[in-house]
Structure 1
Amino acid sequence: KWLCPMHPEVVEDFFGFCPICGMPLETAQSLGYVTVAGDQNLPLVIPDTAPLITGKRAIVYVEEKNEDELRYNGREVLLGPHAGPYYVVDSGLQEGERVVTEGNFKIDSALQIQDKPSMMNPSEMPDTSSVGEPSTESKDEFAPVAIPEDFRERVRPVVKTYLTLQKALADDSFEEAHAAAIELASAVNSLSEKHLSGDSHDQWMTDLNALGEAANNSREAGDLEKLRETFYPLSQALEDFVLHFGHGLDFPIRRAFCPMALEDGATWIQVDETIANPYYGASMLRCGEIQATYPSQGADGEDG
């Protein structure tokens, strides 16, 4: 069999090229897949909506019962190939354990707001006993804190300019990307927090400082390669920002992931469902997959 090293779910009987990313297929043996005669063990799989993935890390929320109490504890797992609507789990779960497949973003977002360990803050695996049972809403839903509309209007240009930067990198245009990076740093540095208080204010300052530092680093990049290196921490900071305070756009935005980018894999935010890889541009433009969608919040700042 011949497989794509980037997309193991692509399996062919003969040599060819991956229809997703265009990479040449390699033999299963060269990629470490072996067949043992008589081995009837089936792999452990979970729905691909269950894991929250950032870089090489993946967290699932596992249902655990303690007497009459039901809780959902975060656990880091090692994922194998992405096969259709499932991920193979190499380690971290056992057969029969139940994992959250809907509402996991809300659990994780709630933990971040409370400054507890989460996907973005993995000091230890999170215990969600204080968060409650997961929502039955789609994982694509998220629950940013409420902020005044005039404040949200100043947030929108930050997200829009980031999206301009992402598209320019995917188009291999350093001139347009650098101009967007300069504009983005200016937009971030002009934001203030005077309308927020309490925990929201503290979270805002944390996110704003991270976003400002990342945007300034992107602004200082002198070439396309350096700008792409700075784009990953910028993308992480922006997603934290969006998770906590929303994006305020009247169209959905999506988180994409390329496991080959920057050696360890990298995420980014984009608009379209079709992958436009900012780390490789034309050389591997369609390399990656959509992992999450943050729905429209409407032109008036309300969820669409």
Structure 2
Amino acid sequence: MNRITLLLLLPALLLACGDSTAQTENATSTGISTPEQMEQQQASAPANSDAEFADAMTDKVFQNYLHLRSALVRSDATEAASTAGNMAEGFGPERWDLKELAQRIADSDELEVQRGAFATLGTKVEELFTNGMTEGTIYKMHCPMAFDGAGADWFSEVAEVRNPFYGDKMLTCGKVTDTISK
């Protein structure tokens, strides 16, 4: 290999090494120390959604909803409360019912209370998401075993089931019942 080729390749190699160092530092700063923990974190984090909405409020609600769902999948009551608090702040007076449900989640540190309110929230935001979406795809999921067999629905940006009502106890319990596309 001649010097010119080596000089041309050196910046690319340094950039590639820099990216993995940044990922490692970022993973370490969030408390992830093993490849298994990193894989689990990525599996339960919301993916990038292709859904777009007619207004910024609905888009923000949807993003918070996905984050809240992921926190419940991880059985992280603290993160669920924090995210629900952010969601509650985004609702105006015309959406007092949604604000109240989000606030109920924010005010609780009990997963079962949070999950119950999340199930009701999912029912109430369906019209908001369906009517407000201008393009993209959202998946409606259903877990028939949630709440002692009563069942419950939730929305996802991907077709892969990650159950917010049971977390890792029954992570893949459920199915896609509707694909909403625009």
TM-score, normalised to structure 2's length?
Answer: 0.65
Report if aligned partners of 1:211, 1:237 keep a CA contact under 8 Å in 2. Answer: yes
Report if aligned partners of 2:89, 2:99 keep a CA contact under 8 Å in 1. Answer: no
Match of 1:222 among 105, 109, 116: 109
1:265 lines up with 2:151 in the alignment = yes
What do residues 182-223 of structure 1 show as CA deviations (whole Å, max 9, x unaligned)? 1111112xx36xxxxxxxxxxxx4xx2331221121121222
Higher share in strand? 1
Tell me which amino acid in the other structure corresponds to 1:281. Answer: G
Q: Secondary structure at the match of 2:116?
A: helix
Q: Give 1:175 deviation, angstroms.
A: 2.1
Q: Secondary structure at the match of 1:262?
A: helix
Q: 2:69: which partner in 1?
A: 166
Which consecutive unaligned segments of at least 5 residues does structure 2 have? 1-52
Task: Indicate how the Cα distance of structure 1 residues 155 and 163 shifts in structure 2: closer, same or farther if over 3 A, else same.
Answer: same
Segments of 4+ in structure 1 off by > 4 A?
A: none
What do residues 138-167 of structure 1 show as CA deviations (whole Å, max 9, x unaligned)? xxxxxxxxx9x5xx1222001110110001
Q: 1:176: which partner in 2?
A: 79
Q: Tell me how large the CA RMSD over aligned residues is.
A: 1.9
Number of paired residues? 129
Higher share in helix? 2
Match of 2:60 among 157, 173, 191: 157
1:255 lines up with 2:158 in the alignment = no
Task: Indicate how the Cα distance of structure 1 residues 247 and 219 shifts in structure 2: closer, same or farther if over 3 A, else same.
Answer: farther
Report if aligned partners of 2:61, 2:90 keep a CA contact under 8 Å in 1. Answer: yes
Q: 1:235: which partner in 2?
A: 122
Report if aligned partners of 1:162, 1:184 keep a CA contact under 8 Å in 2. Answer: yes
